[in-house]
Structure 1
């Protein structure tokens, strides 16, 4: 009997050990897949989508792992400018966030929601989520662990303030974001830095500071070397070409744009392609190359339609989600209202029944008292 107990205990211990080891290995594999896909997301977004879908399908009841897969897919669709699909996955991740106890992952989700709304140009909602992410960052005890998220938060604010306020304020936030990223220990900061520098360069163009703009674009291009972020390289080249156009260096602009186009065709980014086509048609027009002007003008118009259609679908999806949320809140309010009405009615009915019983009891007591009085009076009458 003792031998059997010992054998059972040993077997159970081994089972738990190997079960835990398998679980730990599974988590490690998921993180490895996400890391590998994240470094290639700007070059191979489709590969990242497949990796994310695989993680989601195999996450089972593990909410944290499922969220990681959802966020990877959402990021990949953002790279592809498919905002409708990206939004779907972000919302699913956000809905699951209440089931996890991971502050860093919650910060990432809140930041991503802010980015999503910023991309949709719904800035008030974007600021709300960015404020939530910043609050979570400030509350997190290990500051070194949130530098990347805080830097990203400042950079997205820069995008918003560039559109809503002015470029001086936006550049200030880009610089704050870049400074925070400089403190972070993450390989992924290079892609975020490149995005910040590209947008900072665009601000300098609007301020007519072309030398500072070129410096930002050159830095952005340099950062993308050695990492899998060819679309970011193309964006920076497009920005540099715009400066060359403004300086009257049309052939240099065409050279940069043609190189950017060769890169962007491998990614399929509609917004990037639209910008490159627009730059090429303007520069070919400037050098009187009518054949190429007509070619890229047609490509520009076709891509513009696709971008508008994608944006329209995303906005419709967002509106539908808003209606669902409002309807859910309305149903909750109606249920609460009905609960209060029912409770009030029950209290009223209980009070009425109580008073009815009390009145009936009082009537009986009065009748009884009258009977006693009547008996006393009759007794007195007989005595007399």
Structure 2
């Protein structure tokens, strides 16, 4: 009978290795589940999502992907609150860890988010650059069923940019392509983006003087937002409908829709949304000669407008600092390359000079030796 002796240290090592991997997988699964659940509340309860994101970051340990997801969650929540300064801060933290990750889908998500944030900061060339990188990575990803959400976001953000930079016809085409991709996903975050896209389509149809299609898209935006209980998105949709009513001279209908929007917005405290509601209410109260209410809401509009400008100034400053840091880094790298090239060329030239100097000296010695031999032979003769 053959006896096999098992080394106890080896057994402990294998057991520890398997246990560590099991715990890592469990932690990653828990992190993933928490991330997915919290993502559903980005527009309905962003403050809660920020706390969940902080919890993911603090409990992620050495799990880089979890930490990146935690930072992205916080970034998304601040972005929904229109606090782009804080959103950019946490996105940069996620981006700083990205080189340590091998998760291709996570890298695509961060590239897309970079495009979104730079669009929100109105740095469109940089936004398109990130969106192009994301789209390239999406097209290279082998499992096509996994990229509908990211591709949908990519198309819709392009639609935002083309709406502001070019024309609504191009924008609507990209909105429709994005919505088509997101309808294949059917998740809460997907429906929130669909609601945003439909709202922007409604705005496009206002610009194209097609009030009927504008109302249709605002109603569809409202229904998509209601499905996921996204109060701020429902409020935006109501505000859009009110805008059409104002254009058609239905001021009382507009006021009713704006008051509905205001009730919804009180739960989320979105500065841009409140600014638009206050502006709409002041304009419609002015049109109906309700002077006291006009003064109240016009004053609120001016106050909140000032707050938004201050916030945008801070965000833009943060973005410019980041761009300056990138340019400084590139300049330092290029300067280092130039110095390296010059030093290499100098030492190469120096070695070449030394080589030829030694060769010339050697040849001179050989020539002197040959001459001395010739002289010696002449003397013997």
Return the TM-score normalized by structure 2.
0.94
Q: Which residue of 2 aligns with 1:373?
A: 374
Deviation, structure 1 residue 79: 0.7
Q: 1:294 to 1:23 in 2, by over 3 A?
A: same
Distance of 2:216 and 2:123 partners within structure 1: 31
The secondary structure found in structure 1 opposite 2:330 is helix
List per-residue Cα deviations over 1:281-306 (Å, max 9, x = no partner).
Answer: 11111111111111111111111111
Q: Which residue of 2 aligns with 1:142?
A: 143
Residues 235 and 272 in structure 1, CA contact (< 8 A), matched pair in contact too: yes
Distance of 2:15 and 2:359 partners within structure 1: 72
Q: Does residue 1:271 correspond to 2:283, yes or no?
A: no
Distance of 1:284 and 1:244 partners within structure 2: 13
Deviation, structure 1 residue 190: 1.1
Distance of 1:78 and 1:219 partners within structure 2: 23
Residues 41 and 228 in structure 1, CA contact (< 8 A), matched pair in contact too: no
Q: Which residue of 2 aligns with 1:337?
A: 338
**Following superposition of structure 1 onto structure 2, how do residues 317-332 of structure 1 map, counting pairs within 5 Å?**
317-332=318-333
**Following superposition of structure 1 onto structure 2, how do residues 277-356 of structure 1 map, counting pairs within 5 Å?**
277-356=278-357
Q: Which residue of 2 aligns with 1:200?
A: 201
Deviation, structure 1 residue 16: 3.0
Deviation, structure 1 residue 54: 2.2
The secondary structure found in structure 1 opposite 2:6 is helix
Residues 163 and 170 in structure 2, CA contact (< 8 A), matched pair in contact too: yes
The secondary structure found in structure 2 opposite 1:74 is helix
Distance of 2:85 and 2:135 partners within structure 1: 26
Return the TM-score normalized by structure 1.
0.93
Q: 1:65 to 1:372 in 2, by over 3 A?
A: same
Deviation, structure 1 residue 372: 2.2
The secondary structure found in structure 2 opposite 1:97 is helix
Deviation, structure 1 residue 376: 2.4
Distance of 2:247 and 2:64 partners within structure 1: 51
Distance of 1:8 and 1:377 partners within structure 2: 88
Q: How many residues are treated as equivalent by the alignment?
A: 379
Distance of 1:364 and 1:38 partners within structure 2: 83
Q: Does residue 1:209 correspond to 2:210, yes or no?
A: yes
Q: Report which of the two structures shows the higher radius of gyration computed on alpha carbons.
A: 1
**Following superposition of structure 1 onto structure 2, how do residues 1-384 of structure 1 map, counting pairs within 5 Å?**
5=6, 7-380=8-381
The secondary structure found in structure 1 opposite 2:347 is helix
The gaps in structure 1 that reach 5 residues or longer are none
Distance of 2:268 and 2:346 partners within structure 1: 64
Deviation, structure 1 residue 237: 0.9
Distance of 1:20 and 1:293 partners within structure 2: 64
- CA-atom RMSD, angstroms? 1.9
Distance of 2:361 and 2:4 partners within structure 1: 78
Deviation, structure 1 residue 9: 4.8
Distance of 2:288 and 2:41 partners within structure 1: 37
Deviation, structure 1 residue 244: 1.4
The secondary structure found in structure 1 opposite 2:321 is helix
Residues 193 and 220 in structure 1, CA contact (< 8 A), matched pair in contact too: yes
The secondary structure found in structure 2 opposite 1:128 is helix
Worse overlay, 5-14 or 269-278: 5-14
The gaps in structure 2 that reach 5 residues or longer are none
Distance of 2:48 and 2:4 partners within structure 1: 53
Distance of 1:364 and 1:216 partners within structure 2: 94
Q: 1:4 to 1:372 in 2, by over 3 A?
A: closer
Q: 1:82 to 1:368 in 2, by over 3 A?
A: same
Deviation, structure 1 residue 344: 1.2
